[in-house]
Amino acid sequence: MNARGIAAEAAHMIREAIMDGSFRPGEELREGSLAESLTVSRGSVREGLSILEREGIIRTGWHRPATVIPVSRDHARNLYRLRAGLDRIAAQGAAHHTRADGFSPALESLRSAVTDGAARSEVVRADLEFHDAVYEVADNAPLTSAWQAIRSQIRLYQLVRSAEPESGYDSSLVAEHSRYAEILTSGDVETAGRYAEQHVESALEGLLGRLGD
Amino acid sequence: MNARGIAAEAAHMIREAIMDGSFRPGEELREGSLAESLTVSRGSVREGLSILEREGIIRTGWHRPATVIPVSRDHARNLYRLRAGLDRIAAQGAAHHTRADGFSPALESLRSAVTDGAARSEVVRADLEFHDAVYEVADNAPLTSAWQAIRSQIRLYQLVRSAEPESGYDSSLVAEHSRYAEILTSGDVETAGRYAEQHVESALEGLLGRLGD
DNA sequence: TCGGCGATTAATGTCAACATTCGACATTGA
DNA sequence: TCAATGTCGAATGTTGACATTAATCGCCGA
């Protein structure tokens, strides 16, 4: 939480409440009650909700309460199709720049989270932070911005994916990401792009299996 | 202007002022003076600026005035690399759905704008609306959202590109877009994706030639 | 003279009151 | 009975006053 300002803090609180299930998909978020429970003004809550809308995890309508986005197979497919495209560009960019040590710390952190048997949410967080590192190495501000705009939605679906035990979510996680990092440092732009797309595609497959809908 | 609310209207006014050069790249936008000149409250201006930030044409900072994004070769390269990736997915999606009449009206409107010798800004608008149609046919909400987040920035650079006469901007425009539409209706997903990427790549080349910086 | 430091000031951040709008429910009329 | 319409309540949209922050400029001392 390094974000400055009450609005950003409000956004943080609401976001985490959504992530831990305190607000279900489709549920309404009323500015008034949020303001009361967070002990801030409705204006700040409103600005916080605007941030969350930018992250795509809530929708707003004219004179209607904000709602948590519903999760569905269709939306997941479209979201991951977009992510595949973004990751492809990021991987190409990262491979092009070839800064070897860019994602080693993130990879190490992911590995220790998995081997330590950390909570699901922690593993998901480490997973996303690895991808953050890839985007950072790619060094493309508009691309990173597009990633930020879907990151929270991805997080929501990853939590769904890893919600139940025996999901096999983190068994191959470290191996796949190690291979990913290897390819990126190899500098082979084309291969990197292809691998990134395929990586996301397989993640989608695993997710769709868990999405009854 | 079907947008509802004073904030959206304020965003519209400011956006157009940026597009027609009333605010130069890098220039500061003060909430107070904007509120005064638009005769609305600072709060509404603030929310309008938040919309424009989502569109990527202004930046904001903590306790600092918003600024119009600076244009640069680097930023253009990164922006168009992202756009190429998005357009690729959109083209693949549109080719997959194969709704023939989806972009014919937009194409016709672009053709008439060019042949009528309409103003640069009108041609750019028609150009973008054609691409809007492609995204709509692709029918992928997160993807369309990502497109909306860069659309205004693209518009800004397209205006730069077509700013001076003899730029050769619209000579091949109609031909290229007709071919684009053809490929999309043909249903060949792979070819559509490749053509879209290449289309953007050549647009970037033309743009970089006009960007001294 | 120069460099650090504090008051100034001009901007943004926050708040609470008021205006507007939407959806639901009751009402009325054919 | 049913559909169009009026009314009501609860939510969001908008506003202006007040709090907070960061850059600027001048002062002071080494």
> What are A63-102's pLDDT values in tens digits?
999 999 999 999 999 999 999 999 999 999 999 997 767 7
pLDDT at B210: 87
Domains, chain B? 6-68 (1.10.10.10), 73-210 (1.20.120.530)
What percentage of residues in chain A have a pLDDT greater than 70?
Answer: 96
Low-confidence ranges of chain B (pLDDT < 50): none
Q: Which of A53, A145, A150, A190 to mutate to test the interface with B (most CBs of B within 10 A)?
A: A145
In this model, does residue A1 exceed pLDDT 60?
A: no
In this model, does residue A2 exceed pLDDT 80?
A: no
Q: Are A94 and A192 in contact (CB under 8 A)?
A: yes
- Taking alpha carbons only, the member of A22, A16, A9, A7 closest to residue A155 is A16
pLDDT at A103: 85
Q: Residue A9 phi/psi, 5° resolution?
A: -70, -40
Footprint of strand C on the protein (CB under 7 A): A 5-7, 40-44, 47, 62-64; B 4, 29-32, 42-43, 46, 60, 62-66
Q: Which positions on strand D lie below 7 Å from a protein C-beta?
A: 11-17, 20-23
Per-residue pLDDT band for A197 (boundaries 50, 70, 90) equals very high
Please tell me whether any atom of strand D lies within 7 Å of the Cβ of A60.
yes
Decide which of A100 and A115 is more confident: A115
pLDDT at A170: 73
In angstroms, how far is C28 C1' from A31 CA? Answer: 37
Q: Are A71 and A156 in contact (CB under 8 A)?
A: yes
Chain B neighbours among A 127-166 (CB < 8 Å)? Answer: 140-143, 145-146, 149-150, 153
% helix / strand / coil in chain A, to the nearest 5? Answer: 70, 5, 25
Mean pLDDT (whole number) for A33-37: 97
Instruction: Using CB atoms, pick whichever of A5, A62, A79 lies closest to residue B62.
Output: A5
CB B141 to CB A75 under 8 A? yes
**DSSP notation for B89-123:** HHHHHHHHH--GGGSHHHHHHHHHHHHTT--HHHH
Work out the mean pLDDT of chain B and round it to a whole number. Answer: 93
Which of A106-115, A192-201, B58-67 is least confident?
A106-115
- Taking alpha carbons only, the member of A61, A63, A65, A66 closest to residue A15 is A66
Establish if B8 touches chain A: CB-CB under 8 angstroms: no
CA B76 to mean position of chain CA atoms: 13
Q: Are A84 and A69 in contact (CB under 8 A)?
A: no
pLDDT at B213: 60
pLDDT at A104: 86
Mean pLDDT (whole number) for A164-178: 78
Closest Cα of chain A to B113: distance in Å? Answer: 30
Element (DSSP H or E) covering residue B202: helix B189-210
Tokens of B145: 């959202």
pLDDT at A165: 63
Per-residue pLDDT band for A156 (boundaries 50, 70, 90) equals very high
Cα(B182)–Cα(A65) distance, rounded to whole angstroms?
43
pLDDT at A115: 86
Q: Are A163 and A206 in contact (CB under 8 A)?
A: no
